[in-house]
Amino acid sequence: MGKDDIILWIQGESVHNDDILSCKGKRIDKSSDCYIRYYKLLVYTNHCHKLREKPHWISLYKGKIGIDNGSSTYYLLYGHYKEVDTANRPIGFMSYVRTNNIEDALNAVINESKLYGYSISDEDMAYIKKKSIHKITIAIVMAILCLICLILCL
């Protein structure tokens, strides 16, 4: 796996349909040696920072992985597609994208999902892309503190 790689898991549409696991557009067979290794990358959130979450619906995490003498950023996006399974429930997905850019990660998930006929709602994508109020508040407080320091130094 290299930079801008994506792993995508999609819930089967029924108990009679297999789940889908793919890496960079190539479907991975359950008997493949790398199936479990890729699946573990999807579910391992212990070293990740949760960026956004709508509980039990969609979540975005950011993590770093040590590679050679440096580190690489990756994103985990868990959620549900607009499409539903045979019981009329939204189909779930999990994704791992190694990239330094969150927009690239989201676009990779969108494009990889399209390969299998699935899409994420515009509302969910807007929610994931929305900046956290907490981060904006911190930025404003820091700016005010810097301004106060400048005034006091004059």
What's the predicted TM-score (pTM) here? 0.79
Residue 120 has, within 13 A of its CA and on its CB side, a CA count of 27
Q: What is residue 66's predicted lDDT score, i.e. its pLDDT?
A: 72
Residue 42 has, within 13 A of its CA and on its CB side, a CA count of 22
pLDDT tens column, 67-113: 767 788 999 999 999 999 999 999 999 999 999 888 999 999 999 99
Helix (H, G, I), strand (E, B) or coil at 126: helix
Q: What is residue 104's predicted lDDT score, i.e. its pLDDT?
A: 92
pLDDT interval class at 21 (50, 70, 90):
very high
Bigger pLDDT: 136 vs 22: 22
Helix 102-114 vs helix 122-129: crossing angle, to nearest 10: 160
The amino acid sitting at 139 is A
